[in-house]
Amino acid sequence: MAAQDPKIEERLALVKATGLSMNAADDKRVGDSVRASLMALDAVASGSMFDTEPLHFERALKAHARKGDA
Quote the least distance from Cβ 27 to other proteins, whole Å: 10
Binding residues (CB under 8 A) for other proteins: these are 11-12, 14-15, 18-22, 25-26, 28-30, 32-34, 36-41, 43-45, 49, 52, 55-66, 69-70
Which CB contacts under 8 angstroms, 24+ apart, belong to 8-17? 8/34, 8/35
What sign results for the dihedral spanned by CA atoms 33, 38, 44, 50?
A: positive
